[in-house]
Amino acid sequence: MHTPDATAPPLLKVTNLSWSVASTAILQDIDFAIKAGQFIGLLGPNGAGKSSLLRCLYRYSKPQSGEVQFAGRNIWQLSADDYAKQVAVVLQEAPSQFNLSVYDVVSLGLTPHKSLFSATTKADQQVVLQAIEQVGLSHHLTQNFDSLSGGEKQRALIARSIVQGPKLLIMDEPTSHLDIKYQIQLMELAKSLNLTILASFHDLNLAASMCDQLLVLKQGQLVASGTPEQVITEKMLSDVFGVCAEVSQHPQSQQLQKAIPRITYFYGYQAGVNNGK
Amino acid sequence: MASKHTLAVIAALIIAVVSIFVALSFGAAPSKFIDVYHSISGQGHDSFIERIIWQLRMPRTLLAFLAGSGLAIAGLILQTVTRNPLADPYLFGISSGASFGVVCFITITGVSAGITMSAAAFVGSLVTMLLLVFIAGRTGRGQVETMLLAGVALSFLFSAFTSLLLYFSDPQAITAILFWTLGSFARAQWTTLWLPALVILSCTAVMMGFRRQLNAMLLGDESAVTLGIPVQRFRLLMLILSSLITAVLVAMCGGIGFVGLMIPHIVRFFVSQGTPSGLMMTALVGGTFMVWVDVLSRILLANQELPIGVITSAIGSVFFLSLLYFRKRES
């Protein structure tokens, strides 16, 4: 992992971004920047605008005001193909009923790189096979994508984004619906790619342990940002997520030489029973 | 991996070519393979049977092949861009529009045959297509739903107009329109064959060029956007191309149901449509299937021709159901 350089210009810079649907503001005045090499976690309760924000970043939604810059250029001034070569996205959507194999899905990552009518070369095939091996799906190569488990599907989609050869990888809740083993496996796989990553999370403990920086959204506004240690506080958990919790140090913090907050949730307080502190 | 698919395409191509040659020897007038060979190799078109083969059966069989592959491709494309396994070239009202054009033509002119009737059908389907493109082009999100619902609505609208006109017209027009909707290759001629050939070949070539984008559409609109595809414009383009194929075919051979729906699914059982050969296989299998359906339509009843649409639907649904049944049992 290369360390974030304080002087380098940000890879992705969001300035004053606002986005609304039918005059309802979904995102308001979002400002942040991501440096190359960082792993950024995007947190927030349901409906806070996490997916909407990511959509504005991968050009699915066009913000009404504000600007998103990638490596110093407005993303809407780049061609769709050029942007797709720089930024890959892993989403929850998946094909069904159409019998695509794992190989087919992964090789779709070539799309922005190939012109019309150009054939898939031996070198392209090699890139695809290598990406599949990297995510550990070589033995599922010709298997139907639909028949994979949730974790394997996510890994196949990550392989597709490896083939895309991006600088930035955006993931929208990559770990939801996965067993804890696969959540950890998937995140460690993502970290091992040495890319800049922006991912939204449901599991705050997982985000706290995996990410270099965290962004917290509440009702379309960015309410906190910084290292996990700065962001994950009892006050933030109560203000943003409406839960009562205790934040302590993760036992692995010393071994990994970084401060990893650990959240312990309390239960039953909403019914008026406070059995916590 | 690639070589296996190439072999499959080559095998399908050989079967298609052989099918066309064998199909030429079937018909009301008795003929042998040697007649077919003589007729094609151009060793004099002297004998009566050789002329029948060259002038009647050849354009007809070629049209059948073109229609089969065109409808199968159009079906595959529409299923892909709408991500709806039930999409079919006729779902979007193209054939209803064509029928309406034909009925209008018969009511106004009283003529119920000829190339002008095909032109009327073509105009009818083009009007439907333009309406559909206009509606689908105006919607942003939810384009697929709008397209499907608008297509079905247009289909009903034109059927209603057609029924209304038929209600007030004479029985002859009703017979003509019935035969129209059932489909036939009897109108095939060398002089008009170039049009479907040109349209189907060029549209298929464009679709082959966009095959990666087509597959990416299967991942969902958002994922397709992240792969650099202008999803809405791309879907409109594909809708226009497949509608164009359908319109030309409906105008030349009437309505031939079920092929566009079924062939892509049958091919999909065996070849992943993500492979480069998926599109080719669909076209070849569709064409070969239609050539044999045409043969059946000519020989099943002596001295009579069965409507194509009846046979495609009958064979197709039985075959498709059995495929579904055995596939289910396998897994």
| Nearest of B228, B107, B257 to residue B168 by alpha carbon | B107
The CA–CA distances, whole Å, from A17 to A14, A27, A54, A66, A67 equal 6, 7, 12, 4, 6
Q: In the prediction, which pLDDT does A1 show?
A: 45
d(CA A140, CA A132): 9
Query: Which chain A residue has the Cα nearest residue B331?
Result: A147
Residue, of B44 and B87, whose pLDDT is higher:
B87
CB contact under 8 A, A95 and B210: no
Domain that holds residue B106: 63-330
Q: How far is CA A124 from CA A118, A144, B118, in A?
A: 11, 21, 47
For residue B90, give the nearest of B209, B231, B257, B210 by alpha carbon: B257
**Partner-chain residue, chosen from B212, B219, B275, that has the shortest CB–CB distance to A93:** B219
Kindly give the confidence (pLDDT) of every residue in chain A, 277 residues in length, as a single tens digit, with 9 standing for 90 and above.
Answer: 455 455 667 899 999 999 998 888 999 999 999 999 999 999 999 989 999 999 999 999 999 999 999 998 999 999 999 999 999 999 976 666 677 889 999 999 999 998 887 888 899 999 999 999 999 999 998 888 888 888 899 999 999 999 999 999 999 998 888 888 889 999 999 999 989 999 999 899 999 999 999 999 999 999 999 999 999 999 999 999 999 999 998 988 888 888 899 999 988 766 554 544 4
Beta carbons within 8 Å of A141's beta carbon, 6+ residues apart: A101, A102, A103, A129, A132
Output the pTM of the full model: 0.87
Q: Per the CB < 8 Å rule, is A89 touching B229?
A: no
* Residue from A102, A108, A147, A160 to probe the interface with B (highest B Cβ count within 10 Å): A108
Enter the ipTM.
Answer: 0.86
Q: In this structure, is residue B29 part of a structural domain?
A: no
Using one digit for the tens of pLDDT, what is the confidence trace for B95-111?
A: 888 888 888 888 888 77
Give me the number of domains chain B comprises: 1
How far apart CA A256 and CA B306 sit, in angstroms, is: 78
Q: What is the pLDDT, as a whole number, of residue A8? A: 67
Could you tell me if residue B15 is inside a domain?
no
Q: Indicate whether B56 belongs to any domain.
A: no
Model pLDDT, residue B186: 83
The pLDDT of residue A93 is 65
Interface contact A84-B226, CB threshold 8 A: yes
**What are the residues facing B18 on neighbouring strands?**
none
Q: Position of tokens 């939801």? A: A176
Is residue B93 over pLDDT 80?
A: yes
Tell me the chain B residues in contact with residue A117 when contact means C-beta distances shorter than 8 Å. 208-209
For residue B14, is it within any domain?
Answer: no
Q: Report pLDDT for A275.
A: 47
The stretch B140-158 carries a mean pLDDT of 86
Kindly state whether residue B324 falls inside one of the protein's structural domains: yes
Chain B residues within an 8 Å CB radius of A119: 276
CATH of the domain at B119: 1.10.3470.10
The torsion region of residue A261 among left (phi > 0), alpha (psi -120 to 50) and beta comes to beta
What is the pLDDT at residue A219? 93
Q: Contact A45/A240 with Cβ under 8 angstroms?
A: yes
| Contact between chains at B229 and A116 (C-beta distance less than 8 A) | no
pLDDT at residue B67, as a whole number = 95
Rg of chain A over all Cα atoms, to the nearest angstrom: 20
Minimum distance, in Å, between the CA of residue A62 and any CA atom of chain B = 12
Residue bearing tokens 């409507």: B307
- The answer to whether the CB atoms of A93 and B220 lie below 8 A apart is yes
Cα B151 to Cα A273: distance, rounded to the nearest angstrom? 58
Residues 6+ apart with CB under 8 A from B16: B65, B284, B287, B288, B291
Say if B256 falls within a structural domain. yes
Asked if residues B292 and B222 have their Cβ atoms less than 8 Å apart, the reply is: no
Residue B53 lies in a domain: no
> Within the 67-96 window of chain B, which residues sit less than 8 Å (CB to CB) from chain A?
79-80, 83, 85
Q: Does B209 touch chain A (CB under 8 A)?
A: yes
**Mean pLDDT of all residues belonging to chain B:** 85
Put simply, the answer to whether A105 touches B219 (Cβ < 8 Å) is: yes
Supply the pLDDT for residue B63: 95
**B1 band by pLDDT with thresholds 50, 70 and 90:** very low
Region B227-239: what's the mean pLDDT?
Answer: 91
Q: Measured between CA atoms, how close is A28 to chain B, in angstroms?
A: 22
Does residue B152 sit within a domain?
A: yes
pLDDT at B43: 62
Quick check: A104 and B228 CB within 8 A? no
Inter-chain contacts counted by CB atoms under 8 A, chains A and B? 95
- How far out from the chain centre does Cα A189 lie? 13
Q: Chain B partners of A122 at a C-beta cutoff of 8 Å?
A: none
Q: Quick one: pLDDT at residue A271?
A: 53
